[in-house]
Structure 1
Amino acid sequence: MSAYDRFIEDAAIRLELGHRTRWVVDVISAWVDSHPDGLAGLQRRFEQAGLAARFHSWRQSASLRLPIVASELERALGAHTLAMIAHRSGMSPGSFRVVACHLLPGVVTLRSAPDGGAHPAGARRAHGTRSPRRMAGSVPSRAMYGMAIRSVLWMLAVATVLGLTTWVLLKARTPLWTVQDVPREHTARLSLHQHGTQVQVSGSLPSEGERRRAWNALRAVHGASNLYGGIALDPRAQSPRWLDRLIADLPHLQGDGLHLEFAGMQLTIDTTAMEDAQRQAISRRLRQDFPTLEMSGLWGPGLAALAQLPAGVDTAQRVAALNQTTLKFHAGSSELTGDSRQTVHAVADALRGTPAGLRVEIGAHTDSMGHAEANLQLSQQRAEAVSQALQALGIPATTLVAVGYGQDRPIADNRSDSGRAQNRRINYRLLD
């Protein structure tokens, strides 16, 4: 097995990319090879960004490669370049930045090796090179050229005849009318509003099968006599990705005053008429099972604590309330899940009330799964992602300090799922 293949196999295990690993590594390798002036030109970019020591450590195969974080990588290569390589790799920019921090140092080491890391492209070029003597001894005669040309012409003639015959047969069998594809222009919708035992249902789904499944599931949970309204059929609506999960969760999504409205990738929740414990249980269930949807109206200990802060409360109390909130990220990534958007807005609202000049640390922590060095790097990237999200909402960069602590400060047992979930957290701390 070549060094290149061993590198891909190790990366597939460490980053959990599976079969996509080879493609991503090939894209990064091709970009490195296509860089003006090769590795020397790439090295100059890192030196200009003040990262010369890191790049030099990557080019020495016998030395320990120094790690790099996403913000440093973006400083050296530029956000546009990273986005372009991410697009070619088929990954989102946020996920690719995490992966590139792990893969680029190894690719540079391989390309710096005397044999270029036995890259497949290099192997193909080597096989395609022939010696002049062999080429001279295998020059075909004019007769052979003539036979080859006649063979090609005969093959083209046969292919043309077969193609015309096939087209005529298909044309004869094609009916005068065909079913046209219906363009998907609308978002699928489903609204559930419970009053006591009665449930008002409205919305539109793209197929009769989906409409029947949703109505039958509602009837099984609430009873046919307690349902009113209906679900319309809209063939132009896009197929809802959330319908299967909603049908499975219906027994847990009940309560007088509960109002849920699914619309495309948006979920609006209203639990204001329910007891606090019910509100939190339903919000936990929705965040757990629909993390890709952008939600509004969630309720939890952190959001409740922030909502109950009196006007003029001191900064220490604000930070204490912030530490009851929960932000979630996609597995192995610094990309916030859709259900975290509302919490980010609530955190930003709380930070707007802090006095000018105060600084707040955003501390990111991980569980103990994976390598400690990779977890430290991931936590730093997650802290920076939260900081950037808050800055986009108007919080000054001078107020925020992003720090990644990795797995070194657990607050629960990493041997259980619930413990690891508690250890994956964002903490806020007031700095002197």
Structure 2
Amino acid sequence: MFGNLLNEVAARFGLNLDKAKLLLGSLIALIFNEKRGGAAGFVDLFRSRGMGGMIDSWIGNGPNDPIDASQLESALGSQEIDAIARQTGVERGVAASALAALLPGTFNTLTEDGRIPTGIPDRIRGFMDSLGDFFRNAGAGALGLGAAAVGGAAHAAGRAGDAIGDVAEGTVDAIGDAGRATVRTVDNAVDRVGDAARSGGIGKWLPWLLLAGLLIAALFWFKGCSKNEATPAPSTAETPTEVAATSVNPRFGFANADGKVTVNGQVASDADKTKLWDALVANFGDGNVMGDITVDPATGAAGWLDKLVALLPDFKAKGLKFDFDGSKLQFDTSAMSDVDRNALMEKLNGAFDGVQILGLDKGTDALAALREGFSGADLVKALSMVNIQFKTGSAEISPASMVLVRNAAEYIKKAPAGTRIEVGGHTDNVGNAAANMGLSGARANAVMAKLVEFGVDAGTLTAKGYGQDKPIADNATDEGKAQNRRIEYTLAQ
């Protein structure tokens, strides 16, 4: 069910498949966490953060709007991301980006009938149960409470499982290692009950029996503790976890407004700050760089720093904005010209290995958000958002757009059997109508030829030029003309 999504995310972020599965399981646990109101509460949470349109696109059919790591953290909170990263053993920045990549397709799968489920669908219980050992070992806390809604115990306990979770979490915080041992004992007892608990009978009373046992065990522990208050045993076992929890992503924000650059960010050392700041001043001038970059030794290594410094001479386009956060690079090119944007895409092609790059092309983001088993209609809608550019007055695809065509080919090859796609070329109304008709046809054929070169079956494609006859915007403005100069994909009959 999640095979293609897991494989794609694992490859994209350099994860092994087991790590990707743990991230997916943790995400599903958060979605169905009854302490937040289950899946309906999850939807409400996103809507309260102004992301209602985004999460609505994940329900039912149609392309899924992408979400980036910063948006995900804004909705869920940094503590949830931190907890998942620690429990799964995935670097925090990678975990946040991978979870963001997993979420649209996962939520779409859970709501494939267009309805928000009230509980975990039976079709994915097997997947979650296969991760039962991981969730039991995770213990209490943000992740543990999310998992309580989906683990084996919840099949029997229902909402009472959250009551146990609340007491278990409070007890763990109060009584330390002995409390955690008690919680593990409760978990093991639930496992041993197995099918008997799930089938009813003792399952009706099991949560409360376990809760009573947990409280009794905590009471005995507190009595023992009071006898030894003067000589508490030193504990250093938690130190590595606490140190790991303080690690944060390296960050760098950049905005170029008419040559005046404003920056912000955080790096791990004074040497990194000096290297970056000196490069900014060298490229933009001492009086043209504003903002601050802070230093915190708890910050992770910025593996992209040297490459970023080398590329700063290419970041002089007016209106360019971007943010590095861990292993994610988010661009805002809305204030840039098409010429500058395409030049930037060409410079960035393959520049940052292992970095997730978002915001340069809406179509690329829309393709990445397609869920497993997408329809032909979903595919052509996303493909038509890909902004392919040509050299002025010709049918030669720009070098910067070649990577977009290659990426489009990979998704077309995954289309449902029997899907046939028309590649349509369109122009604005500048020049001779007959010449525009010929140019649009030549461009459509050029794209089709490249798609075939990149492995698409030629029998599934046709090409047609429409010239200036089907505008989608007003040709009276430069912006409208730019929208009308396009490659549009439709399902062929």
**Bigger relative CO (Cα 8 Å, ≥ 6 apart):** 2
- Flag the structure with larger Rg: 1
Q: Specify the TM-score bucket, using the shorter chain as the normaliser.
A: 0.3 to 0.5
Structure-2-length-normalised TM-score = 0.37
Structure-1-length-normalised TM-score = 0.42
